[in-house]
Structure 1
Amino acid sequence: MNINMYRIFFKIQQKHWWFVTKKEIVLDAIDSHVNRHEKVNILDIGCGSGLMLCALADVGQTFGMDMSDEAINFSKEIFKGQVEKGFLPDQVPYPENFFHLITALDVIEHVDEDVNALRAMRSRLTANGKAIITVPAYMFLWSAFDEMNEHKRRYTLTELKTKLMQAGFTIEKISYFNTILFPIVFLVRMFNNILGRDGASDVDMPSAPVNSLLRWIFGLEKYLLKILNLPFGVSILAVVKK
């Protein structure tokens, strides 16, 4: 993706119901599990078009990492902090035991060696440091969207939980999310698979009224996740501790 596409994608992400609400859910998880009164070093792995970088900068000193030169160059247009090239598990350009918080949002499904990637993340955390991880859920939801984004897999909660523990993490919270809209997403994915459509429609910007409605519906889960874990969903959220 060239740098102009990152600029376009960033503008979409700032308004699209999925990206906006996922960001809010992640920030809520940070508020619940990270002490903001202490100095916090944060790493956003796979920072992409930079949506999370500026939001995380309000929490602590934030650093970015991505494997794409174009993503890094664009991130530097909107974010004044340090962004370096690297990828999991073997080329992380930051020291061990340095970060109090690491976010990897829809990242490890791109990595062949996902457990080693999780171990590499853990090694960069300080003692009792935490990571927030999101991944897509359920292989039966596999579609052209996953292929377009070069995903290796989608996860069940049990599979992700097992791999997190194999990597040495202690799990503080793990839950499915995007649960309320799950039936609609399932039907759309199956319909697109039958018709052989590509995955671009998953990130198309809907009309303003539809976008607002979907954001409101999905946004209800911010409050649900504060008090319970959801039993199924399009994605999984995990909060883990070193």
Structure 2
Amino acid sequence: MDLKETDILGANIGQHWYYRSKANAMTRLLSGVSPLAILDIGAGSGFFSKKLLSDTMAKEAWCVDISYECDSDALEAGKPVHFRKSVDKVNADLVLLMDVLEHVDDDVGLLKDYVTKVPSGARFLISVPAFQFLWSGHDVFLEHKRRYRLKQMEDVVRQAGLTVKHGAYYFGAVFPIAAAIRLVSNFVQRGRYKAQSQLSQHHPFINETLAAMSFAELPLFVPNRLAGLTVFDVAEKS
């Protein structure tokens, strides 16, 4: 989760359709999984790990982000949240990498490094932006290195030493709209991408409409290996 987006949405991040929907997708993919300790890599504000602390039996979360000014601790639903610039070994049974791997040159290396920091049996939940042809000024603004196809993401997961449990695309319902807008915009810009976030505070009607479209997609989300704006992968350290 990028702190640049947190700065844009502020305290309303939990109401924004994109983050609400991504949290719903996370919950759906983790159905039947009961984590006790969460390691949240590139956590930003810790939105996703805080959601799990509030809604599950998880007892603590370690939020890691090199953008933090200093180490600190807080509480969420009465449970400890440890904000750290880096960590060594962590006894976590769930590792989150929500929109992280697209930011680094060596995605396999970063993932492999964190595989060594957690015990065997730990689950990994990973999300990345989908399809390179959707590259835009938004990616430039967020300092992305690439976008992924599902199979490409699964290859990265395997190279890092993890076993792929499930992969899927999400935001398939809004995919045609977003793809059309980006392709037209990219044609007009002729490859001269302006670094500019496309994330904004929408009118309540638009926000709720997009949230409803994404919510309606959830029953079809898990088997969706066709198209979407985000790739999700669930993997396990054997």
Please give the range of the TM-score, normalised by the shorter of the 2 chains. Answer: 0.7 to 0.9
Structure 2, unaligned runs of 5 or more: none
Q: Offset of 1:8 from its aligned partner?
A: 5.2
CA separation in 2, counterparts of 1:52 and 1:19? 9
Q: Counterpart of 1:229? A: 224
Q: Counterpart of 1:206? A: 202
Q: How many correspondences in the alignment?
A: 227
Q: Offset of 1:10 from its aligned partner?
A: 3.4
SS, match of residue 205 in structure 2: helix
* Counterpart residue identity of residue 202, structure 2: P
Partners of 1:48 and 1:71 within 8 A in 2: no
SS, match of residue 47 in structure 1: coil
Partners of 2:126 and 2:233 within 8 A in 1: yes
Q: Counterpart of 2:84? A: 84
Q: Counterpart of 1:66? A: 65
Q: Offset of 1:106 from its aligned partner?
A: 0.3
CA separation in 2, counterparts of 1:163 and 1:54? 27
Q: Counterpart of 1:47? A: 43
Q: Counterpart of 1:103? A: 96
Q: Counterpart of 2:34? A: 35
Which residue of 229, 233, 236 maps to 1:238? 233
Q: What whole-Å deviation, never above 9, does each CA across 1:135-154 have from its counterpart, x for those lacking one?
A: 01111000000000000110
Partners of 1:10 and 1:49 within 8 A in 2: no
* Counterpart residue identity of residue 218, structure 1: S
| Structure with the higher helix share, 1 or 2 | 1
**1:174 and 2:173 aligned:** no
CA separation in 1, counterparts of 2:152 and 2:4? 37
CA separation in 2, counterparts of 1:76 and 1:7? 19
User: So what's the TM-score if we normalise by structure 1?
Assistant: 0.84
Structure 1, unaligned runs of 5 or more: 87-92
Q: What whole-Å deviation, never above 9, does each CA across 1:77-134 have from its counterpart, x for those lacking one?
A: 9795211003xxxxxx1315x2100000000000111001111122123211100000
* Counterpart residue identity of residue 67, structure 1: I
Structure 1 segments (4+ residues) deviating >6 Å: none
Give aligned-pair identity as a percent. Answer: 28
**1:192 and 2:185 aligned:** yes
CA separation in 1, counterparts of 2:4 and 2:21? 24
Where does 1:109-128 land on structure 2 (aligned, <5 Å)?
109-128=102-121
* Counterpart residue identity of residue 26, structure 1: M
Cα RMSD for the two superposed structures: 2.5
Partners of 2:150 and 2:167 within 8 A in 1: yes
Q: Offset of 1:6 from its aligned partner?
A: 4.3
